[in-house]
Homo-oligomer: A and B are copies of this chain.
């Protein structure tokens, strides 16, 4: 454990010299897979020498020879979106265990940037890619289809399952929200959907319809509105539009938490009591939504685990390129807080 001075780099040659062996031998002794090729005693001597000198293999040199960079590209839309930090953290932690380093870029959902980023990652010789950008118009981000680079998809899944992916079960998640509202007694439930080009927006929309039908309710088309982005202002716009229709509606399933917040805006503006007059449930369980007024009932996704699993799948693929691409589906969880309650009867009393 006595690290020598880390002043200047200690190279494999130094270790070899100290152990009295050839660098080649030292290399074999240090790498677990080739260690069996060298005498146990010698190996120990090398390991000891490495330890004493505080030797760290130079991944650059190693990568040059093995044409592996021990580096993984991570494409996300925007780190600033509270959805992604836990995912990224999961990726980082899992990758770190395997001595891989993630290179993280923000695409801002711009296809051009996405292309450029992928090109840049390729130039940097990444060994694989994790992409959490969720447009579903094309199967894969442009420039990846013909690329024989291990890729794992987050929040998106290929129809043919040709690439490993990890997604949360949005259908089921929305189902949880709907069932919760139904069990409270709601029947006139609206859905403010996210953009349908995004797989998440699409799945949640479908999930909503499905869950309503499963309960024997034919969802009123007037009660489902589709937005152009998963943002607060869209939630606000849609909510206003919904209320302007002056239909009976006692609960709203928002496409995500931000859109739910947009509803809050409208309620404040119009003096509507939530959850007294209308209930809202969000999606994602972003940090701090429990502190909102009212605390937001929402669907929690295992973000960290999503990231960790994605990284795990990529590592699997790196170890064995022929491996069957796994499709991981993670379970969402309903978090009941203060934005949902039983609907009022006509007379203003709880039904």
Q: Is A58 located at the chain interface by the 8 A CB criterion?
A: yes
Q: Which residues of A contact B (CB under 8 A)?
A: 6-7, 9, 54, 56-61, 63-64, 69, 78-80, 82, 84-86, 88-89, 92-93, 96, 101-106, 119-120, 122-125, 143, 146-147, 261, 264, 286-289, 291-294
Which single residue of chain B is at the shortest CB-CB distance from A82?
A: B287
Bound complex: CA A123 to CA B85 (Å): 26
Given contacts A79-B92, A288-B289, contact A60 B64 (CB under 8 A): yes
Closest CB-CB distance, A124 to chain B, in whole Å?
A: 6
Closest CB-CB distance, A307 to chain B, in whole Å?
A: 11
User: What are 10 A-B residue pairs whose CB atoms fall within 8 Å in the complex?
Assistant: A7-B146, A56-B119, A59-B123, A59-B125, A85-B85, A92-B104, A264-B291, A288-B289, A288-B291, A288-B292
Q: Give which listed residue, B54, B82, B119, B286, contacts A6 with CB less than 8 A.
A: B119
Closest CB-CB distance, A46 to chain B, in whole Å?
A: 18
Docked-complex contact A143 and B105, CB < 8 angstroms: no
Given contacts A79-B85, A103-B103, contact A291 B261 (CB under 8 A): yes
**Chain B residues closer than 8 Å to A82, beta-carbon distance:** 82, 85, 287
**Chain B residues closer than 8 Å to A106, beta-carbon distance:** 89, 92-93
Bound complex: CA A82 to CA B292 (Å): 16
Bound complex: CA A291 to CA B294 (Å): 9
**Chain B residues closer than 8 Å to A105, beta-carbon distance:** 92, 96
